[in-house]
A and B are shown apart, each in its own frame.
Chain A
Amino acid sequence: MQVEYPKSEWTDKFLLLDMFEGLKTTFRELFKPKVTVRYPEERLEPANRFRGMFRFSFDRCIACKLCAVACPIDIIYIDVHDEQREVDGKMKKIKVLDRYDIDVKRCMFCSLCEEACPTKPKSIWLTTKTYELATYDRNDLYFNMQQLEYWDDRPRYEGLPEEEEHPRIEGGQRLLER
């Protein structure tokens, strides 16, 4: 598409046409839909590759401690003990997790632990869509194994309406509506 603009005449400047053009633009803008997302009532739905809060799977974890080694600020604490167990009819020495804690308040969400994890699918991953991590106490951000696996159960800020009531909005949706 190509646009041809007419030559401006001297009267255009004298009549302040550009100024009125600007006023017209802002007036039109007044009635267009707004892009603001009213946060607690409406929520943004992050994209699929969004890097959010951790999720840990006890069943997939082989207790190899690679994530703890990969962690640049050493905030993954793992305790393991060995157990003799019967697997496929043979007695085998197996590592069992006692403790898997992440001090999330110091975490920078670099996702190196996820990269280091050898299991498939990963037993620690960050591609969840949760970003509401604020707490009233900083110790609430020290997550142990159970919390990492089931953090959806932790109490949210009360006084909000039910989850179904607030619509989820995809990023950029509001801009497309304009």
Chain B
Amino acid sequence: MNPWMHYLVWPLVKFLVAFIIVQGIVAAMNWVERRLLGFVQARLGPNRVGPKGLLQIIADPVKFLLKEDIVPANAETIAYFLGPILPLIPTFLVYCLIPFGPPPTFVAARVNVAVLLVLALTSTGVYGIILGGWASNNKYSLMGGLRSAAQMVSYEVPFGLSIVGVLMLSGSLDLVKIVNYQADHIWNLFPQLIAAFIFFVAMTAETNRTPFDLPEADSELVGGYHTEYSAMKFAFFMLAEYSAMLVNCCLMTLLFLGGWTLAIGGYGLTTQTLQHMGIPGGMLGVLIFIVKVMTFMLVYIWFRATFPRFRFDQLMDLGWKWMIPLALANIVVTGVVVLLGQSLNFQGEVVLSIAGAAIVGYTLYNLRPRAKVVHASRVSEV
């Protein structure tokens, strides 16, 4: 094949297709989130525009486009304009690296250090927020930007550390290989249960979502870093946030939930099986992937509907005193078990899975209703 086609045109086409689909999902997520939040709060959410309020997905961008674009008088102009754009670029670039289905068709760029590259790109998202918060020339915006900086830098550490266990098990930084490893053995969710939990919490904090939405904190900071932004610039911030959420959910699916495969111990829909089925198999893989990603997006919304916001010192405590030691302990345990497994000839991930399953089981056992109702007539006897 023509190298230009192979290395430039096809990846670009794939990236554009992924980009458009992802933007559609992001726009739809806004509606889904408002609707579900409404349901949880005994409301109906946006249901007036179109059937079930579905046209809200179109109405919102139209509103953003038509609104007046206000620049504060004393804003730092260049930084103010860069603010909403900077977080968009890395999150969009990451879509090149994420395999949405079995390779080679559904991967725009297969890089053998994809995990590192994704982490590096997503962590630059904080610059836009700081710049935007500072350039607005507003106390609250600056406060939001600073909070965001501290929070995202702190949670970058457990975010990275929680992945190490997965990398030790699968022995590769290539996302495709990690997925193949999970299809051949077991989803990393079970052997790396604690890592998966830390990863999820850290990625919630990374994307400034409730309960870690201190940079926005509408009740104390009037919206934080995007207070002074209106119209499309504000929409860019939201777009960046939701895109980052989606990227993180994709990463979570790839690292812990077996990506586009649906297999255990090499049985089921592995990458090879899907590749044998041709294009329909690939589509099936993409469908499985999207379902898994959407599950995590819904969990994001579920978290937002449930948990109140952390105080800032609580946030830092959680990050530095709990998440990082826990992630380090997880690395040590995983390493010891994998090494012992290699020398004593047993499957390390099986042992770790049993431990993970035990934790889940014990939690579920403790979640049973334990409050005992004593009837008023019997209170005197007690």
Contact = CB atoms under 8 A, between A and B. Distances in A.
Interface in B338-382: 359, 362-363, 366-367, 370-376, 379
B315 to A, nearest CB: 15
Q: How large is the interface on A (under 10, 10 to 19, 20 to 34, 35 or more residues)?
A: 20 to 34
A4 B374 CA distance: 7
B376 to A, nearest CB: 6
A20 interface: yes
A77 B265 CA distance: 89
A26 B40 contact: yes
Contacts of B376: 1-2
Contact of A15 (B41, B44, B363): B363
Interface stretch (B73-81, B244-252, B269-277, B302-310): B302-310
B54 interface: no
Given A34-B44, A36-B43, A3 B363 contact: no
A27 B371 contact: no
Interface centre among B302, B363, B374 (most CB of A within 10 A): B363
Contact of A27 (B302, B362, B375): B302
Contacts of B305: 26
Interface centre among B305, B371, B374, B375 (most CB of A within 10 A): B305
A30 B44 CA distance: 10
A4 B363 contact: no
A75 B44 CA distance: 41
Given A20-B363, A26-B305, A27-B302, A4 B372 contact: yes
B39 interface: yes
A60 B301 CA distance: 61
A55 to B, nearest CB: 33
A34 B363 contact: no
A2 B376 CA distance: 6
Nearest to B211: A19
A5 B44 contact: no
Given A17-B363, A36-B43, A38-B44, A23 B372 contact: no
Given A2-B374, A29-B42, A32-B42, A17 B306 contact: no
B371 A4 contact: yes
Interface in A72-116: none
A32 B40 CA distance: 8
A11 B371 contact: no
B36 interface: yes
B269 to A, nearest CB: 29
Given A27-B302, A29-B42, A19 B371 contact: no
A29 B41 CA distance: 7
Interface string A10-45: 011001010111111111011010111010000000
B202 to A, nearest CB: 15
B43 A11 contact: no
Contact of B307 (A19, A32, A35, A178): A19
A155 to B, nearest CB: 24
A36 B366 CA distance: 36
Nearest to A29: B40
A38 B44 CA distance: 9
Nearest to A24: B367
A11 B367 contact: no
Contacts of B373: 1-4
A38 B38 CA distance: 14
Given A2-B374, A4-B374, A178 B306 contact: no
29 contacts: A1-B376, A2-B376, A3-B374, A4-B371, A5-B370, A5-B371, A6-B372, A11-B362, A12-B366, A15-B362, A17-B366, A23-B302, A23-B306, A24-B367, A25-B306, A26-B40, A27-B302, A29-B42, A30-B36, A30-B39, A30-B40, A32-B42, A34-B38, A34-B42, A34-B43, A34-B44, A36-B42, A38-B44, A178-B42
Given A4-B371, A29-B39, 16 more contacts: A1-B375, A1-B376, A2-B373, A2-B374, A2-B376, A4-B373, A12-B366, A15-B362, A17-B363, A19-B306, A22-B306, A22-B307, A23-B303, A23-B306, A26-B40, A29-B40
- Shortest 8 CB-CB contacts between residues of A and residues of B: A36-B44, A26-B306, A4-B372, A15-B363, A2-B374, A22-B306, A6-B370, A26-B305
